[in-house]
Amino acid sequence: MQETLDLSFDIKSSVRTVELNKDTDIKIGGNSSFSFMNENQNIAKPLLALEFLYSSKNILEEIKNEEYADIIAVKFDISQDLTDKKLDEIKEFLKKLDALTKKPFIFRGVNNNEIDKKLLPFIAHNAPKESIIAFADENTYEQIVPDVVKNNHVLVLRTPIDINLAKELNILAIDKGMSPDKILIDPDTGGLGYGLDYGYSIVEKIRLAAFDGDEMLNMPIIVFIGEESYRAKEAKSDTFDKNWGIFENRSAMWEISGAVSMISAGANIVVLQNPKSVKTIKGLI
């Protein structure tokens, strides 16, 4: 009789479960092994977020027509200073956004420390419902954490591809009042090549630390792989030779390859920028 291969392994802990908007069925994390594996009765599924740029003139219509993503993400790609007029515009946008969809939100800053120190607390105060605020890092968490805590949001903490720095920032944010059940780890990563390889390794190490019982590294992991993928000229330029294939397909596959890799490494949320990628990965999952 052929023996069945036993793929189970001993675990001391599972990834924390973050419930986003208790009136929805969105649960982040909770997995007791890596995605796509059935050992240890793992039933958690990775979530897909589709990111829209605030600067897009048709952003509300685009979000209204989105049907495949689990989460709607908005990146506030603002280049100018945050005037009172601009903040009023953002406040009105948040109201309109809430009326469009029941899906949960990720609100991401500019990636400029000085702007994000003002913008993200403002969004935390004016977001229409419990949302994911992204992101705080070692230079901004002291200014961002208090408003996120006060308004009961989930916070993304980003560190530059280093497991020890990720753990340290989690501890610092918790000391500042952040609940460990409201934290998502963003270990940062590259799109493809060596950047993806290094990022994959760090995500995997963080997940293994969680399974081994480290309570300061057992938060769900989020990866903004879409932005990283589209930094590559191969994914955003149509100037390559025809033997590179159809540009639209190549562009999506660049992102899909990175996203599936990150999910396999242990990411609980991947944030994408191409609707085709969301639909394709949804089918795979």
Please give the mean pLDDT across all residues of the chain: 89
Does residue 61 contact residue 49 with C-beta atoms inside 8 Å?
A: no
Q: Tokens for 119? A: 């913008």
CA–CA gap between residue 255 and residue 227 (Å, rounded): 9
CA–CA gap between residue 218 and residue 29 (Å, rounded): 9
- Which tens digit of pLDDT belongs to each residue from 179-204? 999 999 999 987 666 678 888 999 99
Q: How many residues does the chain have?
A: 285
- Class of the 17-284 domain? alpha beta
Delimit the domains of the chain by residue range. Answer: 17-284
Note the pLDDT of residue 172.
Answer: 98
Rg (the chain; Cα; Å)? 19
Note the pLDDT of residue 241.
Answer: 77
Does residue 122 contact residue 113 with C-beta atoms inside 8 Å?
A: no
CA–CA gap between residue 77 and residue 75 (Å, rounded): 6
Residue reference for tokens 């630390």: 209
Sequence-ordered alpha helix ranges (H) in 127-267 = 141-150, 163-175, 194-211, 225-229, 233-236, 247-265
Whether residue 6 is predicted with pLDDT greater than 60 in this model: the reply is no
Does residue 124 contact residue 148 with C-beta atoms inside 8 Å?
A: yes
Confidence label for 25 from pLDDT (cuts 50, 70 and 90): confident
CA–CA gap between residue 279 and residue 28 (Å, rounded): 19
Whether residue 7 is predicted with pLDDT greater than 70 in this model: the reply is no
All residues at 6 or more sequence positions from 68 whose CB lies less than 8 Å from its CB, including other chains: 48, 50, 275, 278, 279, 282
Note the pLDDT of residue 192.
Answer: 67
Which of residues 119 and 239 earns the better pLDDT score? 119
* Position 106, amino acid: I
Note the pLDDT of residue 1.
Answer: 47
Does residue 27 contact residue 269 with C-beta atoms inside 8 Å?
A: no
Helix (H) or strand (E) run with residue 269 in it:
strand 269-272
Whether residue 3 is predicted with pLDDT greater than 70 in this model: the reply is no
CA–CA gap between residue 217 and residue 60 (Å, rounded): 36
Q: Quick one: the chain helix, strand, coil %, rounded to 5?
A: 45, 15, 40
Note the pLDDT of residue 28.
Answer: 95
Confidence label for 168 from pLDDT (cuts 50, 70 and 90): very high
Mean pLDDT of 273-283: 94
Helix (H) or strand (E) run with residue 98 in it:
helix 84-100
Q: Tokens for 45? A: 């599924």
Q: Please, which residues bridge with residue 28 across strands?
A: 18
Percent of the chain at pLDDT exceeding 70: 91
- Which tens digit of pLDDT belongs to each residue from 200-225? 999 999 999 999 999 999 999 999 99
Distance of CA 270 to the CA centre of its chain: 5
Report the candidate in 131, 72, 134 with the shortest Cα–Cα distance to residue 101.
Answer: 72
Confidence label for 147 from pLDDT (cuts 50, 70 and 90): very high
- Which tens digit of pLDDT belongs to each residue from 28-75? 999 888 887 766 566 678 999 999 999 999 999 999 999 999 999 999
- Which tens digit of pLDDT belongs to each residue from 83-124? 999 999 999 999 999 999 999 999 999 999 999 999 999 999
